[in-house]
Amino acid sequence: MYIVIAGGGKVGFYLAQELIEGGHEVLVIEQTVERVSALADELPDAIMQGDACEVSTLDKAGVSRADLVAAVTGDDEDNLVICDVSRVRGVPRTIARINNPRNALLFESRDVETTVSATQAILAQIEQELPLTQMVPVMQLHEGLEIVEVKLSETSPAVGRTARDVLLPPEALIALIVDQGGSPRVPSADTRLNPGDALVVVVRSDTKDTLKEALIGATHGLDT
């Protein structure tokens, strides 16, 4: 099979190595000159410099005779364009790496046969291993403080309250709120908390249980 891989990052590189070992003809298209020269030793004759979103680059790569195009850049919009242009050029099968799991629906509707989302895979793994943990440790600070992230569910006792009225443990501080739309803001005392908000909270490690009660509610099951 002739396989064109768009994107010479880690995913593209390892994929290329595996496929070459499996006896396939492979060409990696990578945009940045530095990355191309770094990969040239590892993938001799299998790397080409260019923007895979450009139709002329794909044509130069001989995409019309490819059996498969794998678009594995870090940008979902680029991956969609690469797959759709390849399809117009007659490529029978396209695979895209998707970075935002919510984009899976669009790729499926565009007949991009398989979508591989690293984010989704990692999320699935996390959900499997830690089914009920809703407080994610982000960073340890000095003096027994740490930063945690908590996503508010519909049933959170904090939902509907203002930041001032949440019963936080002493010395805890809501530093940042990222809303469902992904917009971050620094909360004021009057900021109202909504389901789906992700709260970044500074808290004393020994009062995390109180914080959980305030933001998650009565804990049960395997929660650690």
Partner 1 sequence: MKVLIMGCSRVGAAVAEALDAGGHDVTVLDRNPRAFRKLADSFHGERLIGNGMDTRTLERAGIQRSDAFFAVTQGDNRNYFSSQLAREVYHVPRVLCRTYDQQREEIFRQLGIETYSPTRQGSEAMLKMLNTPKGEGG
Binding site for partner 1 (CB under 8 A): 53-56, 75-78, 80-81, 84-85, 88, 100, 102-103, 105-106, 109-110, 180-183
Contacts of 52 (CB under 8 A, 6+ apart): 6, 7, 29, 31, 58, 61, 71, 73, 78, 82
What CA–CA distance (Å, rounded) separates 149 from 152? 10
The nearer residue to partner 1, 181 or 221, going by C-beta atoms, is 181
What CA–CA distance (Å, rounded) separates 96 from 83? 7
Strand 25-30, strand 2-6: pairing: parallel
Nearest approach in angstroms of CB 182 to partner 1 is 6
The nearer residue to partner 1, 30 or 78, going by C-beta atoms, is 78
Contact 150, 214 (CB under 8 A): no
Nearest approach in angstroms of CB 103 to partner 1 is 8
| 112's tokens | 């991009």
The nearer residue to partner 1, 65 or 102, going by C-beta atoms, is 102
What CA–CA distance (Å, rounded) separates 171 from 151? 20
Nearest approach in angstroms of CB 220 to partner 1 is 29
Nearest approach in angstroms of CB 93 to partner 1 is 17
Nearest approach in angstroms of CB 183 to partner 1 is 6
The nearer residue to partner 1, 56 or 224, going by C-beta atoms, is 56
The nearer residue to partner 1, 88 or 122, going by C-beta atoms, is 88
